[in-house]
Amino acid sequence: MAKNDLFLRALKGETVERPPVWMMRQAGRYLPDFMKLKAKYDFFTRCRTPELASEITVMPIEQVGTDAAILFSDILVIPQAMGIEVQMKPNFGPFVPDPIRTVEMVDAIPANDAKEELAYVYDAIKVTKEMLNDSVPLIGFAGSPWTIMCYAVEGKGSKTFDKAKGFCFEHPEAAKRLLQKITDITIDYLLEKVKAGVDAVQLFDSWGGLLSPEDYKEFSMPYINQITAKLKRHVPVIVFGKGCWYALEEYSTSGASALGVDWTLSPEIARKLTNNSITLQGNFDPARLLSPIPTIQKMAKEMVDRFGKDKYIANLGHGILPNIPVDHAKAFVDAIKNYKV
């Protein structure tokens, strides 16, 4: 058991002296030491080298003081494991040279083994657990099947992912076969992460908010719920759907241990939608970390006051931005750690 078990206690809904705090994308681009490694090794080399991934994972625990670590990796290791080539282009982002655009391409995707294809991730978990020495819990993660499908079909990042949406609407049965293939390998992947030692898992539905509530119920939610149902027997599951406020009520009874909330929804409405029945996580606007430190401290306290200290995990409403000064990130974390009612 982790010496600092606040995060795990909050996931169980237990009464805590203060909320735990961590930040999405905390192991990365705003840290100067991370940028030194980035200059030496390309993105997927960092992901695939257990010692590098572990070093990056532990950085924010030592430098910023968060209550949980999240493994340095990427959601796009899943399509890679499925035989879909994914590149990470500097100053561009993810790029899929041969995106999935036809029914035949969906059906040709092999049923690859997550255990074999992604062994480097499990090795990184084991090395990280040794480095952490039970100081804080370790979070494993995956992208939602819909979010993974967005990249696999679109071929790159997008503000609208209209090609991915269009494929769903033009070929709904093939789209669902693709979503199911992604779901199956994601379940296997996360179960292997649990065996390797992660203490909780988070599902990132980064692009769920691009779907209407009706389309979300058809093309995203059922697949997330499958993953939650399989994983919840083994570890706590956090579901984070960016822009998916309309799904909070249904997710609150899905078996997830916590739900992520982005900064576009007030704490009061998030509590109302979930009937105060589940731990919530969020929802500080990442750009607000550019505010003066006294403002960050004041707003962080107000955020906890509004969510309440129990059944709550303090976090950002999405990933930390690369231009955030480290002392501002630390001020946010410290404000939560110093929280008094």
Instruction: For residue 7, give the nearest of 336, 285, 240 by alpha carbon.
Output: 336
For residue 2, pLDDT over 90 is answered with no
- Averaged pLDDT for residues 118-136: 97
Q: Is residue 322 a contact partner of residue 29, using CB atoms and an 8 Å limit?
A: yes
Is 207 inside a domain boundary?
A: yes
CA distance 35 to 322: 10
Domain that holds residue 30: 6-337
List, in sequence order, every residue forming a beta bridge with 280; answer none if it has no partner.
259, 312
Q: Is residue 84 a contact partner of residue 136, using CB atoms and an 8 Å limit?
A: no
Is 249 inside a domain boundary?
A: yes
Long-range contacts of 226-229 (CB under 8 A, 24+ apart): 226/183, 226/187, 227/142, 227/145, 227/183, 227/186, 227/187, 227/190, 227/203, 228/203, 228/254, 228/255, 228/256, 229/254, 229/255
pLDDT single digits (tens) 285-336: 999 999 999 999 999 999 999 999 999 999 999 999 999 999 999 999 999 9
Q: Is residue 146 a contact partner of residue 212, using CB atoms and an 8 Å limit?
A: no
Q: Where is the binding site for substrate, in residues?
A: 25-29, 44, 74, 151, 206, 318
Q: ∠ CA 134-139-141 to the nearest 5 degrees? A: 155
Q: Where is the binding site, in residues?
A: 25-29, 44, 74, 151, 206, 318
Is 219 inside a domain boundary?
A: yes
For residue 81, pLDDT over 80 is answered with yes
pLDDT single digits (tens) 61-70: 999 999 999 9
The confidence score (pLDDT) of residue 18 equals 97
Is 1 inside a domain boundary?
A: no
pLDDT single digits (tens) 244-294: 999 999 999 999 999 999 999 999 999 999 999 999 999 999 999 999 999
Q: Is residue 92 a contact partner of residue 156, using CB atoms and an 8 Å limit?
A: yes
Instruction: For residue 22, give the nearest of 326, 330, 341 by alpha carbon.
Output: 330
The confidence score (pLDDT) of residue 91 equals 86
**What's the total number of domains in the chain?**
1
For residue 1, pLDDT over 80 is answered with no
CA distance 167 to 216: 15
CATH of the domain at 182: 3.20.20.210
- Give the global pTM: 0.97
Q: What letter would DSSP give residue 321? A: P
| Burial zone of 239 (CB within 10 Å; 0-12 exposed, 13-18 middle, 19+ buried) | buried
